[in-house]
A and B are shown apart, each in its own frame.
Chain A
Amino acid sequence: MFEFDHPTVLFYNSLSRRLDATTWNEPIRVDYGERLIHLLSTICPERILNAKETQASTWVYVVGDISYFSILLFLLGILNECYSGSYKSSLLFSWLSSQKIRRETVLMADNEDDDSQQRVNEGDYVVLKRGDIYKAVQIQKKKKTVFEKQWFFLDNAVGELYGTTFEVVSGGTLQPRKPKHVEHAADAKEAGTDNRHILDDGKSQKLTRDDIETLKEQGLKGQEIVQQLIENSTTFRDKTEFAQEKYIKKKKKKYENSVMVLRPSCRILAMMYHGREPGKICHLRYDTLAQMLTLGNIHAGSKVLVFETCAGLVLGAVMERMGGYGSVVQMYPGGGPVRAGVESFGFPPHFNETLHEFPIQHVNALLAGTLDTDAKDIDESPDAEDQNMETNSSENSAAEKEAQEREKRREIRCVVLQGQEKKVRMEEKRKKLAAAAVLLQGRNADGLVIASRFHPCPVLLGLIKFLAPSRPFVVYSQYKEPLIECYTKLREQGGAVSLRLTDSWIRHYQVLPNRTHPVLLMSGGGGYLLSGTTVTTDTPKVNTEPTSVEEPAAKRVKLEEETE
């Protein structure tokens, strides 16, 4: 809501990740909201066209008056040339704030009408949903997918919009369901007042198992089978209205064979893993994961260390919150990083540029400054297969080694191409390791997230050294006692404040007219979290007072802290 005679306007295209600047020659009044879309299209039609073509959202910033135009253009030239997307905007923002330019976000010209981004493509990672059941799959043509004891092909989902519900028809093909409203069973039916006349004799349903199977074979849809069941139930009419509703819901769940195709998100995947395979994610409940992301202050543009053995769910969640800005370093144990879960998030390719990895067996070397990223021994680590080979050779005697070497050479000759490929891969790995080491060496990471089946104490004490002071860290463990140990050790060692050991409690509710109450079953526990903030360990710089004056006071403060 401000005026410039010739405003300089900055565009940011989220897909091409290009920054662009322009100036308007006619004086305009800049207002918030939809009116600017109109403005843009009349004054600057080619820019709007540009945005449309790339099918991305465009951010528009009004930077200031015309005097900023040339300097901004010059800066953008450098930025667009030299930096990848993730740095660009943050660099520019910091420059803008350093210039104390009055800048305001005006609008996002989102291409609302364009649905191409919203459609399912072959190769997409999607989530199937039925009721409360989720399953993450990749869309592959002619591939049988098993979901809820039913198999089908996802071929027909390609080209459809995300969020579409499909009906599974004979032959396992999917048919998009028409978005019509199902006429509810609210057409004033008979209902009983209570259940005094209802007997549990197993005779109320006249249809047998075989009858239902024949109905299914005849190609009846779920809805129709449920209708048949109701008509053949002798007690349905005597049930109360509420019980009838419940009966229909139950039968629908059993016989309906619809499946919804959704775009994956942290919420959906966390709930899916918790429901399907809690063992794989160390029983990390979704609300606990939510706490971790918030307590860890995970946000775009920061440098976060992640140590997890939760199939990649935690890593993926962190990456989603960073949105492809900043960097994530996965500290991994053993042969190679596990991140099957990250794939399920279906991130755009540029997210991978922000993901780095570092094997924890090199942490001590890195801390001691003895890690040589050019050394040969580095090559071994990332791949389990490679590692085995290398460790074997180092253990064996020289003669055996030679024999092995010969063997190796022969193999190599046989598969020269493969060998070369491997070499290239190794080289890449070494480069990656070196890049991750550079990120860690500064010991200025902005966040640390740990969720593993390992004892959290050594993990935390080892990795906390890479954090800058005044940065949050959060450690998850399925068990409380190891975290108590962590807490005690950290307290003794210092370097962290606001230590808190917590767990969270979540209860779902059934909300219905006159029938609102907590759901009968609830999760018994979602694991424990230790969170805190790092601080410097060195003693404060004494300004004027001699140290002798300060020391007793420091002790007093310490005492106070402990008693609190």
Chain B
Amino acid sequence: MSFVEYSEFIQEGDVAIIFLGHDSMMPIKVQQGAQTQTRYGVIRHSKDLIGQRFGTKVTCSKGGWVYVLHPTPELWTLNLPHRTQILYTTDIANITMMLELKPGSVVCESGTGSGSLSHAILRTIAPTGHLHTVEFHQQRAEKAAEEFREHRVGHLVTVRNQDVCKEGFGVTGVADAVFLDIPSPWEAIQHAKSAMKKQGGRVCSFSPCIEQVQKTCEALAGQGFEEISTVEVLLRVHEVRSITLPLPDFGPDKPLETPTDTRIPSNASVLCKTTTPPREMAGHTGYLTFATKPRIHCLFYLQFVYFGLIMWI
């Protein structure tokens, strides 16, 4: 198991997702001899999980059964331990496409938070890309780094514990894309720019408040970014339902001629398959601001190179 590569069978040390029923899941770490309590009873890792195929039904001690699923970044997003507010799959999907991420992309991200987006980025840029992720909270940075190792994506990521607004991403001129999810993204735009390749690249900032967006856009325009565009994306879930609609009884059409037994009975109804929206849905997550960094002009870049050389000597 790895978050960037499927495997067929469950092994010791894997993360597996226990699917208990619609929208009810839990992540577990598979360990020889360990047990997991579910509402259907106990799952014994050695006997019920290790060596089994991902996607199989596992019978718990009380006789109920669950499915064991292979972890994916999307399942992880739904199951991860929240250390911060996290990004969800709808936003992640758009961020991934609009940042033009693909295998081999080098990405800078801040903050790491609970690692929801990080896992999705790593999945997309593997096996030849790299993620530089910056988190100013020491404990969160350490926890994230530990998680990446456990999920066998550690070789694709560098976690740095620093303040991106003050110290930047710790790399220069390497990134194809930069993602910012911090309280004051406008303070990090300069660092984002210097972290990016001289050929240019894409940047995205996620902010819940429009005032943040306003300041970020000004900073982006000020730093020479192009194609600045802000969008908001929401997911609408349609719950499939079989519903029964009763038919009204208007009485006999021609009272004298129609025999009573051909009339629509008063309890007649129609069954139909339809969808309903959930009673409540996420109506706002955040605004996504995207921009393109144009390529630095050659002469301008040479200055940088010379400056760098002088520094070396």
Contact = CB atoms under 8 A, between A and B. Distances in A.
B151 interface: no
B23 to A, nearest CB: 7
A470 B70 contact: yes
Interface in A532-564: 533-536, 538-543, 545, 549-550, 552-554, 556-557, 560-561, 564
Nearest to A294: B93
A300 B90 CA distance: 21
Given A511-B228, A540-B65, A266 B56 contact: no
Nearest to B228: A511
A557 B21 contact: yes
Contact of B96 (A108, A110, A118, A290): A290
Interface stretch (B194-202, B249-257, B262-270): B194-202
Interface stretch (B1-9, B29-37, B135-143): B1-9
A297 interface: yes
A505 interface: yes
B27 interface: no
Given A14-B128, A299-B126, A508-B230, A550 B59 contact: yes
B98 A105 contact: no
Interface in A266-314: 266-267, 270, 286-287, 289-291, 293-295, 297, 299-302
Interface string A304-338: 00000000000000001111110000000000000
B89 interface: yes
Contacts of B98: 267, 290
B245 interface: no
B63 A553 contact: yes
A104 B130 CA distance: 11
B297 A179 contact: yes
Nearest to B202: A267
Nearest to B78: A498
A161 interface: yes
A290 B94 CA distance: 6
B233 interface: yes
A25 interface: no
A90 B5 contact: yes
B156 A505 contact: no
A300 B55 CA distance: 21
A485 B272 CA distance: 11
Given A108-B130, A265-B100, A502 B235 contact: yes
Contacts of B106: 108
Q: How large is the interface on A (under 10, 10 to 19, 20 to 34, 35 or more residues)?
A: 35 or more
A103 interface: yes
Interface string B212-250: 011001100000000011111111111110000000000
B63 A293 contact: no
Given A286-B97, A488-B273, A323 B152 contact: no
A181 to B, nearest CB: 9
B206 to A, nearest CB: 14
A500 B305 CA distance: 52
Interface in B53-102: 53-59, 62-65, 67-70, 72-75, 89-90, 92-94, 96-98, 100, 102
Max chain B CB contacts within 10 Å: which of A286, A299, A541?
A299
A125 interface: no
Interface in A94-123: 94, 97, 103-105, 108, 110, 112-113, 115, 118
A511 B19 CA distance: 43
Contacts of A518: 232
Nearest to B200: A163
B287 to A, nearest CB: 7
B120 interface: yes
A526 B118 CA distance: 27
B123 interface: yes
Nearest to A303: B6
A286 B97 CA distance: 9
A516 B90 contact: no
A357 to B, nearest CB: 22
A487 interface: yes
Interface string B159-202: 00000000000111110000000000000000000000111100
A469 interface: yes
Which of A90, A444, A506, A549 lies at the interface centre, i.e. has the most chain B CB atoms within 10 A of its CB?
A506
Contacts of A513: 214, 218
Given A468-B8, A469-B55, A508 B229 contact: yes
- Nearest first, the 9 closest Cβ-Cβ pairs linking A and B are A469-B55, A323-B103, A470-B55, A553-B63, A294-B93, A290-B97, A540-B57, A470-B54, A509-B230
Interface of B: 2, 4-6, 8, 19, 21-24, 40, 47-48, 53-59, 62-65, 67-70, 72-75, 89-90, 92-94, 96-98, 100, 102-104, 106, 120, 123-124, 126-128, 130, 152, 154-156, 158, 170-174, 197-200, 210, 213-214, 217-218, 228-240, 273-275, 287, 289, 294-295, 297, 305, 312
Given A484-B275, A511-B289, 4 more contacts: A110-B174, A297-B123, A543-B47, A543-B59
28 contacts: A57-B104, A93-B127, A103-B155, A290-B97, A293-B93, A294-B96, A297-B74, A299-B123, A302-B5, A325-B103, A468-B8, A470-B69, A471-B6, A472-B72, A480-B275, A484-B274, A501-B240, A506-B234, A509-B232, A511-B213, A513-B214, A533-B75, A535-B19, A535-B57, A538-B57, A540-B58, A545-B63, A560-B21
